[in-house]
Chains A and B, each alone.
Chain A
Amino acid sequence: MSILDHVWLGVLAVFHGPALFSLFGLPIPVALVMVLLGVVAGIIVGATPGLGGPMAMAISLPILISIFGFRPEALLPVMGFLVGVMKGATLGGAVPAILFNTPGTPDAYMTTLDGWPLARNGQAGKALRVAHASSVMGDSFSDLVLILCAPFLAVMVERFLDLPEKAALLILSLTFIAAVMGGSIGKGLISMGLGLLIAAIGTGQDFYPRLTLGMPSLAEGFSVVTVVLGVLVLGEVFKSLEDGLRDARSGSRPDTRPRGPQALTRADFGRILPYVCRSAVIGTVIGALPGIGSTLAATLGYTLGRARHARRGGSPAFGEGAIEGVAATEAANSAVSGANLIPVLSLGIPGNAAAVFLILAADSIGGFNPGPWVFRVPTTGSNPEMVVAFGLFTMMLVANLLNWTLGGAVMRASGIMARIPRSLLLPSVVLVTLTSLYVQAPEMMTLVVTLIFGVLGYLMRRLGISPLPFIIAFILASPLERAIRQAFAATGGDVWFLVNRPVSAMFLLLGVWVIVASLRRKSPR
């Protein structure tokens, strides 16, 4: 079967998959319903300061697995929901940024710069419409790039990279992630080293499980879900709870009642379009590089948009309620989400927290192992993993369609979520997280271990160490060790196997260059 046949099978898997119910005699596929629910849930959590897409994905994953089970048919509905959350949350993050000057997600901070002045001028409705249109346009562009690039890149990787090159590529990716995450390459490397070390505990090929300190409870190692939920979710909740204590807000809010027309006119659309296009490209390029988050994309999109606006003498200026400012930010941060899946699907390397949860879902359910082999065309029959990948692309496009059509209304309605106090929301998130974890791994010890990782995540954040290199290193540790073992064996025990071959040597040199460049870039002049 050709790639095009797999594309068609992927589309059919979504639209002709198991039906949840019938509407006027028309079967409604469960995958589509899950995408819809995911988009709505994503917008709502994105609009809730303190939650965000990754946290919602973490909480919903065990519930979804409980509902759909560990069967290959569960892959599309579960991933459809997660993709919906990922896309919806990006859209929803703009809501509190515009309405309450409180970014729902970190990347929506730049949206407050023009969104809040617009709201104070009674133009909140228009600002939300601009954010909606820009976000969905950026996201759609990014998805198209993903769909065109990921299979091509995966085929190239499979065709031209052998075991040593793949091992070197993993090392380069980890180095890159450590270098670009957070403010310091040193802290990035520490985070990555800790992730690799924790992943080594209780694993290995010897009869004796390594680094267990003689404790039988460590012999099985740490499960990915325990580490991810502890460090990413509990660590963030602990920090947000404490930050909430410090944020003693007082005083009355300015009047943001609507004044004047709120609709997005054709002239408005013409004004924002150049900014959206430019930011969509910026967000997509940044999203395709593993480890660089949407916050940087939003900052770059906004900064370049502001320079263009100033050159043209646009009024109002950026920062004073320019709809172009909202458009430049929202298009850039939304364009990251699709492109972020390029390294996941073509290389098996998660580039951000949302991708981590997609890998976690695939890993928990089984039947889909993201990496270059996903797009391997079989000589006979079909490649089920490629069908799932194209099903995933189909669901991403459906999620975009839903964002286009329903997203705006859900966005405007979810403004109320920003009024829920963090002090009530975050403790509830802790119990929901722990319960959903226990349901997957029914042992109280799992909860204790998750709490310990939560403390680690909190301390890392407080010490200015980004936890994402830790998580990504933890996830990639096993594939990296396997690749190195296989490459070493395949080269007949050559200890120089990583530097003997030009491509792998080039990847390693690039890794060294990334570290040196990061050090030089940040050095004071």
Chain B
Amino acid sequence: MTGSHRTLLLAAACAAFALATLLIWIPADVDSSVIQLVRRRASIGDAMAPAVAAVILLLGAVVLVFERQREATPGLPRESLVFLGLTVLIIALSFVLMRWTGPMLTVLAGLDYRPLRASAPWKYLGFGLGGFVLVAGLVALAERRFSWRGTLVAALVVLGLIAIYDLPFDDLLLPPNGDF
């Protein structure tokens, strides 16, 4: 597929999304119309802003069709999608660890997490493990191998953030403690 074909495909996708927004999403999900009558006075309704946005999106798609010969859209090769997928996976895993490590360990210890969310070491468990996995995982992805240097950096970054946000400020909560 050439760059101009990709441009055409992008324009078609944007046009389809804009039309779906104009014809389906806005009518179904906005209470008032583009212009409404309230107490016999005309005023702008909530549909105006998204409708204008969708029209601009549609206009952009149309302009892109005219530009397709000179505006080659770079491709999204399989490697890029795999890289993006792995990045999202590592970050999502780290979120899960951040969110659940502390509560799970307190359950195992026969305790409730909420009263302990501001007490060491409980408040650091989720952030420590999740943050470590996030940094070490992304370093490993970038370097294509696990390295002691990466794990050391991950540990130092987590400790540094605890030192910056948690130690000097009583009112700031590290992830996930604000959720409890």
List A residues at the B interface (Cβ < 8 Å): 63, 66, 178, 183-197, 199-200, 203-208, 210-214, 238, 241-242, 244-245, 422-424, 426-428, 430-432, 434-436, 438-439, 442-444, 447-448, 451, 455, 458-459, 462-464, 477, 481, 484-485, 488-489, 493, 495, 515, 519, 522-524
Q: Which of A203, A439, A489 has the most CB of B within 10 A?
A: A439
Tell me whether A431 and B158 are in contact (CB under 8 A).
yes
Of the candidates A63, A186, A427, A443, the one whose C-beta lies within 8 Å of that of B134 is A427
Q: Name the CB-closest residue of B to A432.
A: B161
Tell me whether B50 and A424 are in contact (CB under 8 A).
no
A45 to B35, CA, bound (A): 49
Tell me whether B139 and A444 are in contact (CB under 8 A).
no
Tell me whether B71 and A484 are in contact (CB under 8 A).
no
Name 26 interchain pairs, CB-CB below 8 A, sorted by A: A184-B64, A186-B62, A186-B63, A186-B66, A190-B60, A193-B18, A194-B57, A197-B54, A200-B50, A208-B31, A241-B141, A245-B144, A427-B139, A438-B174, A439-B172, A439-B174, A442-B177, A451-B88, A451-B91, A455-B84, A462-B74, A477-B49, A481-B48, A484-B44, A485-B44, A495-B35
A435 to B124, CA, bound (A): 13
Residues in A with CB closer than 8 Å to B69 are: 524
A522 to B10, CA, bound (A): 19
Residues in B with CB closer than 8 Å to A524 are: 69-70
Tell me whether B135 and A435 are in contact (CB under 8 A).
no
Tell me whether B53 and A196 are in contact (CB under 8 A).
yes
Contact with A along B26-41 (1 / 0, CB 8 A): 1001111001000001
Tell me whether A210 and B46 are in contact (CB under 8 A).
yes
A63 to B160, CA, bound (A): 13
The SS class assigned to the B binding surface is helix
Q: Name the CB-closest residue of A to B67.
A: A186
State whether A493 and B80 are in contact (beta carbons under 8 Å apart), knowing that A63-B164, A241-B87 are contacts in the complex: no
Tell me whether B71 and A426 are in contact (CB under 8 A).
no
B101 within 8 A of A: no
Shortest Cβ distance from residue B9 to the other chain A in the assembled complex, whole angstroms: 10
Residues in A with CB closer than 8 Å to B83 are: 241-242, 245
Of the candidates B88, B158, B169, the one whose C-beta lies within 8 Å of that of A455 is B88
Of the candidates A187, A205, A213, A242, the one whose C-beta lies within 8 Å of that of B64 is A187
A428 to B55, CA, bound (A): 40
Residues in A with CB closer than 8 Å to B135 are: 427-428, 430-431
B16 within 8 A of A: no
Tell me whether B95 and A447 are in contact (CB under 8 A).
yes
Residues in B with CB closer than 8 Å to A185 are: 60, 63, 67
The SS class assigned to the A binding surface is helix
A458 to B76, CA, bound (A): 11
Q: Which of A183, A186, A188 has the most CB of B within 10 A?
A: A186
State whether A213 and B29 are in contact (beta carbons under 8 Å apart), knowing that A245-B142, A424-B153 are contacts in the complex: yes
State whether A448 and B165 are in contact (beta carbons under 8 Å apart), knowing that A212-B29, A428-B135 are contacts in the complex: no
B125 within 8 A of A: no
Residues in B with CB closer than 8 Å to A428 are: 135, 153, 157
A185 to B68, CA, bound (A): 11
State whether A193 and B56 are in contact (beta carbons under 8 Å apart), knowing that A66-B172, A242-B80, A430-B135 are contacts in the complex: yes
Residues in B with CB closer than 8 Å to A485 are: 43-44
Tell me whether A206 and B46 are in contact (CB under 8 A).
yes
Of the candidates B25, B44, B60, the one whose C-beta lies within 8 Å of that of A211 is B25
Shortest Cβ distance from residue B13 to the other chain A in the assembled complex, whole angstroms: 10
A335 to B175, CA, bound (A): 40
Residues in B with CB closer than 8 Å to A187 are: 60, 64, 71
State whether A207 and B53 are in contact (beta carbons under 8 Å apart), knowing that A430-B138, A493-B43, A524-B70 are contacts in the complex: no
A489 to B37, CA, bound (A): 12
Residues in A with CB closer than 8 Å to B137 are: 427
Residues in B with CB closer than 8 Å to A208 are: 30-31
Residues in B with CB closer than 8 Å to A427 are: 134-139, 142, 153-154
B102 within 8 A of A: no
Residues in A with CB closer than 8 Å to B111 are: none
A422 to B142, CA, bound (A): 9
A344 to B96, CA, bound (A): 40
Tell me whether A519 and B63 are in contact (CB under 8 A).
yes
Residues in B with CB closer than 8 Å to A447 are: 95, 175
Residues in A with CB closer than 8 Å to B161 are: 431-432, 435
Shortest Cβ distance from residue A439 to the other chain B in the assembled complex, whole angstroms: 5
State whether A458 and B84 are in contact (beta carbons under 8 Å apart), knowing that A431-B157, A489-B43 are contacts in the complex: yes
Of the candidates A195, A207, A459, A493, the one whose C-beta lies within 8 Å of that of B41 is A493
A424 to B156, CA, bound (A): 11
A196 to B69, CA, bound (A): 28
A56 to B173, CA, bound (A): 22
A205 to B47, CA, bound (A): 10
A154 to B177, CA, bound (A): 45
Q: Name the CB-closest residue of B to A424.
A: B153
A208 to B26, CA, bound (A): 13
Tell me whether A189 and B99 are in contact (CB under 8 A).
no
Tell me whether B46 and A434 are in contact (CB under 8 A).
no
A178 to B43, CA, bound (A): 29
Tell me whether A200 and B95 are in contact (CB under 8 A).
no
Shortest Cβ distance from residue A61 to the other chain B in the assembled complex, whole angstroms: 14
Residues in A with CB closer than 8 Å to B44 are: 484-485, 488-489
